[in-house]
Amino acid sequence: MKQTATDIIVERLQQGGFRDTATRRAILDVFQKRVKPVSAPELSEFLSEKGFWPNKTTVYRELAFLRDQEILHEVQFMDGTRRYEMASETHHHHLVCVDCDAVEEVVVREDLEQEEKRLARAKRFKILNHSLEFYGICGKCQLSR
Ligand SMILES: [Zn+2]
Ligand SMILES: [Zn+2]
């Protein structure tokens, strides 16, 4: 049987001594299929569609756990809601459409990384991370305006 991306993650967690649960697998499956970052309430909805009804606390705990394991990455857009996506190899940013809520991942060229280094030096500030999202109107929405 072919190993799915979820199998690989679960296996890695098991090696770290963490349990393999049906809920965790269902959550990971949701994230494998989503292109847009997902909030906790949205995740609960997707899970219920698959016949899983974990309580709110379990959902938040799982999200925090998977984030701490660096399997998920937390993103916060302008509305302040915490959303999660699969942590990807490449550092990226998002284009967020304020009309239809479409979210696209984009990579910003090296100028930004250089600016980060410059700021860190100039301010003697040890930068650990940064988050940068762009808000606007996507191509599709521009056409229908
Ligand atoms: Zn960046
Ligand atoms: Zn749009």
How far, in Å, is the centroid of ligand 1 from the Cα of 111? Answer: 10
How far, in Å, is the centroid of ligand 2 from the Cα of 46? Answer: 22
pLDDT of residue 7: 94
pLDDT of residue 28: 96
Ligand that lies nearest to the alpha carbon of residue 96, given by its number in the listed order: 2
How far, in Å, is the centroid of ligand 2 from the Cα of 135? Answer: 10
pLDDT averaged over every residue in the chain: 92
Ligand that lies nearest to the alpha carbon of residue 100, given by its number in the listed order: 2
pLDDT of residue 27: 96
Coil vs helix vs strand at 25: helix
- Which of 18, 137, 118 has the alpha carbon at shortest distance from 68? 18
Q: Would the pLDDT of 71 be above 90?
A: yes
Query: 129 pLDDT band (50/70/90 cuts)?
Result: confident
Structure tokens at 27: 């959550």
Q: Mean of the pLDDT values across residues 59-65?
A: 96
Higher pLDDT, 74 or 88: 74
Ligand that lies nearest to the alpha carbon of residue 111, given by its number in the listed order: 1
Higher pLDDT, 62 or 78: 62
Give the torsion sign (CA, 139, 132, 69, 41).
negative
Tell me the helices (H) and strands (E) count for the chain, helix number first.
6, 6
How far, in Å, is the centroid of ligand 1 from the Cα of 110? Answer: 9
- Helices 22-33 and 56-68, packing angle to 10 deg: 70
Query: 109 pLDDT band (50/70/90 cuts)?
Result: confident
How far, in Å, is the centroid of ligand 2 from the Cα of 76? Answer: 19
